[in-house]
Structure 1
Amino acid sequence: MEEQQRARRPGGRSARVRAAVHEAVTDLVNERGYGNFTVGEVAGRAGVADTSVYRRWGNLENLLADVVLARLNERSPMPDTGSLDGDLRTYAANVAREITGPDGLAVLRLVIALSGKGQEGLRARDDFLAERNRQLQSMLDRARERGENPPDALGVLDHVMAPMYIRVLFDVGPLTPDYVDGLVDRLLSHGGSAQAPSTPRKSR
């Protein structure tokens, strides 16, 4: 019982093992691509027993899903700048930085690969999309409570997130600050204003 409590203590051995295993997964995806490594290789890279990985995650798909969700929550904090315009620009910049970081592409590839891995893989993909949607919705709901007129979450996905994902996945252009800001400009001009409905939007 005491051993279980120690394992669950934040910052303890359990947290260190999880961090090491997650790092091993993203390293292996970057080096070999999805489907080209085993739980045993992940465990060896992380310096833990493969039985520890199986005991905690059950199988490789569950482990990969945990990596994806952890990266999403750790690296895409929700901004609160006081305006929808500021929130969207900050959030888009954060996502651009996240997906162009050292393991950003590996995480995107994991999400896509998991979609073709049966029910567990689909569940992992859906969990990723649901968490991304939850993040966006909390930002948009806050804007609506301030009296602003935000677009819906799908509009943000279509106009801002999807173009960035495509650029990174297919290596068709950099995510420069001007490019990311331009995506937000187009969204706001078509899908909602960053000002309260009764207040004209200020020119930038």
Structure 2
Amino acid sequence: MAMKERVRVGGRSARIQAEVHKAVKELQQEADRAELTVPMIAARSGVTPSTIYRRWGDLAELLADVAAERLRPVSDPDDTGAQISDLKAYVEQYAEEFSSPTGRAMLRDIFSSATDATYTGQCCGYTFDHLNVIAGRAKARGEHPIVVQDMVDHVIAPIMYRILFGGGELTEAYWQALLDRAMPATA
């Protein structure tokens, strides 16, 4: 496998990344994922295929990078004034986003990256960051904050398992029951 080039923040490297990401997103709207190729993306983005191979290694890595970027939060979770309602809003959004056809496609792209756990680690970090924000707000309000790892183990992980492997419908009643069972431990 080709060695990935070091990515510099800003400058030409950032412009190339932005153009390639933009091309991937546009092509994903126009064609089935199975039809995407590096030469097609290169032509759309105005770079050579060798640039894409040097930077990302292969198509799976590029698609994982684009998916991770799309999943990057643009803001903190909603502040509803109470930890439990913050968690309900967050878990509902999380379940809806990842169980949607677009969310499932992004997860497939994230997990198709075989070289390392960079992209899965980024997405995991986003979840921990959001839950830490919710816990921090709760603590600042004088509430007993959640234990973030417990929320991941008892709420987020079962939701993700259902999304990835099936085993039952992902309904509001299901995730609400998970949240209800997890909350007494934090009260």
**Structure 1's 123 and 16: CA in aligned 2 closer, same or farther, altered over 3 A?**
closer
Q: Deviations over 1:58-103 (max 9, x none)?
A: 1146533432332323588512101110011100000111012231
2:180 aligns with 185
Is the aligned partner of 1:125 residue 2:120?
yes
Is the aligned partner of 1:161 residue 2:152?
no
SS of 1:69 mapped into structure 2? helix
2:81 aligns with 82
Q: Distance in 2 between matches of 1:153 and 1:104?
A: 23
CA-atom RMSD in angstroms? 3.4
Unpaired runs of at least 5, structure 1: 9-13, 194-204
Q: Distance in 2 between matches of 1:155 and 1:177?
A: 20
TM-score by length of 2: 0.73
- In the alignment, which of 172, 176, 183 is matched to residue 167 of structure 2? 172
Unpaired runs of at least 5, structure 2: 1-10
**Structure 1's 166 and 185: CA in aligned 2 closer, same or farther, altered over 3 A?**
same
What code does the residue aligned with 2:88 have? R
Q: Distance in 2 between matches of 1:75 and 1:179?
A: 27
Q: How many residues align?
A: 174
What code does the residue aligned with 1:192 have? T
Identity of aligned residues (%): 31
CA shift for structure 1 position 19: 3.6
Q: Tell me, yes or no, if the aligned pair for 2:64 and 2:111 is still in contact at 8 Å.
A: no
1:109 aligns with 108
1:142 aligns with 137
Q: Distance in 2 between matches of 1:146 and 1:98?
A: 28
Q: Distance in 2 between matches of 1:18 and 1:169?
A: 25
CA shift for structure 1 position 172: 2.2
CA shift for structure 1 position 183: 1.2
1:93 aligns with 92
What code does the residue aligned with 1:112 have? F
**Structure 1's 77 and 42: CA in aligned 2 closer, same or farther, altered over 3 A?**
farther
TM-score by length of 1: 0.68
Q: Distance in 1 between matches of 2:92 and 2:106?
A: 17
Q: Distance in 2 between matches of 1:27 and 1:185?
A: 42
Q: Deviations over 1:112-163 (max 9, x none)?
A: 232xx23xx3222222222221122111111111111122221111111111
What code does the residue aligned with 2:45 have? V
